[in-house]
Structure 1
Amino acid sequence: MVLKVKGSKQYRMKVVPDKPFSGVIAIAGVVFLLLITSAASYFAGQYQLRQSLERKTQEHTQALDRLTALQGENESLRMRVATAEQSLTIGEQASESVRAELVQKESQIAELKQEISFYRGVMAPEEGGERVSIGRFILSQTSDPKNYQYKLQVKQSAARRDIVKGSATFTVVGRQDGEPKSYPLKELSEQVDSESIQLRFKYFQNIEGELRLPEGFVPEGVELSLKSSGRKGFNIEQRYGWLVQES
């Protein structure tokens, strides 16, 4: 016989098995998942770095091959020049043509040497070297005698992995109608809309374009300034003469 107390609510009882290790297993699973994710991110970063260095190595090898070929052509041209100077049968015009070709080849060799020096600096930087530096700066003549192409390469040591942030200013100095005068790149190039060019890179950054000199202006050189956007960083001032390569 079951006695029921009038007015009280009856509750049903259920037996639940005790699992003391279920919480520990769940925590271990989360920790394992985090370790797997971190390892995957690390190896992905290492893979991208290896790919970048392999690409730079290939470019460096190609530049060396081009340099060797050009040096061979250069030596051949030197012999042709010597023969032309000693021979009385060759015309003055042909001799000047060979000389012009020789100058062009030497200019290409100088540019390739700069490229090789840059790639060596990226792949095998010197200990204690500057964090940020100018890899190369080139001015080239175009078909228009007032128009020039410029190429500026800024780099940092491959031993450093942080992102470089800052700005670069580019000023052409010379004389306007006999008086000293300077022009920021903004006033000479339609491709530039600010007096400072933003820098943001991990290994290197190329800055290139075209500029046009004003009438009556005789250029004497280029002043480059690189500054870090942080409190501690780099502040580089460099001046180059107005040395123009034939394109």
Structure 2
Amino acid sequence: MSRDSGQGRPGTLYLLLFVVGAVLIGMYLGRHMVEQDVRTATAAGPDVTALEQSLRKARAELEVSTTRHDVDRQALQMVRAELAAQKNEIAALEEDLRFYRGLMAPETTDALISLVPPEITYGATPGEYSYRIVVLQRARKHEWASGSVAIAVSGTGIDGPVSYALAELSEGVTENDLELGFRYFQAVEGELSLPQGFQPLAIEIAATVQKPRKLQLKERYPWPF
């Protein structure tokens, strides 16, 4: 009995040593894996930081590009609007130039004072109009012409036929008889406002020329609208 007990102790000791060794090896391997994971995470840290910095930089560049695009678009719209305004201004100047060139073209060798059909255009608001009335001298030799001109708008009011002098319709005109003094032509132009309930039918122009020779001119032009 005692011999069997002595023979069993070495086996138990070996088993105990094996278990302890396995535990120590497991602890070592576990610590090694943890340290490796820590080193891997530490090594990856700078890469993540670099990616975050790159992302912030890309976002900033995108914001700058978007702002620049908006500014460029607004600038382009402003340039287009300015070009359109300049084109309209040039067209108006060209129209005026053609108009005045037509006025300057001589038709006879004798001095001749005449009236040009008035130009009436719509204003900014209903009932308001822009007007231009020209008295001209067509001649090869233009002498100084002087006199006066009276302008009125006739039509139908609430109580029947009525006529308004230009001074009653245009703030820039203070007298019914406007003074004339020109060598080639004289333009009377401005803005007029019609009373409510008034239906214009015609523009009446009466010019009295004193020089270079006395002359009376009267014309009645239909209201263009």
Quick check: 1:165 aligned with 2:146?
Answer: yes
Aligned AA (1:239): R
Offset from partner CA, 1:17-38 (integer Å, 9 cap, x none): xxxxxxxxxxxxxxxxxxxxxx
| Residue number in structure 1 paired with 2:101 | 119
User: The residue matched to 1:211 in structure 2 has which SS?
Assistant: strand
Q: 1:183 aligns with which of 164, 177, 188?
A: 164
Quick check: 1:237 aligned with 2:218?
Answer: yes
Quick check: 1:155 aligned with 2:127?
Answer: no
Closer, same or farther in 2 for the Cα pair 1:128/1:194, shift >3 Å? same
Name the % identity. Answer: 31
User: The residue matched to 1:155 in structure 2 has which SS?
Assistant: strand
Q: 2:116 aligns with which of 111, 135, 154?
A: 135
User: The residue matched to 1:235 in structure 2 has which SS?
Assistant: strand
Aligned AA (2:153): V
Larger-gyration structure (1/2) = 2
Unaligned runs of 5+ in 2: 1-90
Q: 1:219 aligns with which of 186, 200, 203?
A: 200
State the alpha-carbon separation in 2 of the partners of residues 155 and 242 from structure 1. Answer: 21
State the alpha-carbon separation in 1 of the partners of residues 175 and 138 from structure 2. Answer: 28
Unaligned runs of 5+ in 1: 1-107
1:138: how far off? 0.5
- Number of residue pairs matched? 134
Offset from partner CA, 1:33-73 (integer Å, 9 cap, x none): xxxxxxxxxxxxxxxxxxxxxxxxxxxxxxxxxxxxxxxxx
Q: TM-score, normalised by structure 2?
A: 0.53
Q: TM-score, normalised by structure 1?
A: 0.49
Contact 1:163 1:200 in 2 (8 A): yes
Q: 1:145 aligns with which of 109, 126, 129?
A: 126
State the alpha-carbon separation in 2 of the partners of residues 154 and 231 from structure 1. Answer: 14
1:232: how far off? 3.7
Contact 1:118 1:136 in 2 (8 A): no
1:129: how far off? 6.2
User: The residue matched to 1:229 in structure 2 has which SS?
Assistant: strand
State the alpha-carbon separation in 2 of the partners of residues 199 and 240 from structure 1. Answer: 20
State the alpha-carbon separation in 2 of the partners of residues 230 and 204 from structure 1. Answer: 13
Question: Which of structure 1's runs of 4+ aligned residues deviate more than 6 A?
Answer: none
Report matched runs for 1:1-247 at 5 Å: 112=95, 116=98, 118-122=100-104, 124-127=105-108, 131-177=112-158, 179-230=160-211, 232-244=213-225
Contact 1:170 1:223 in 2 (8 A): yes
1:231: how far off? 9.2
Contact 1:131 1:160 in 2 (8 A): no
Closer, same or farther in 2 for the Cα pair 1:171/1:243, shift >3 Å? same
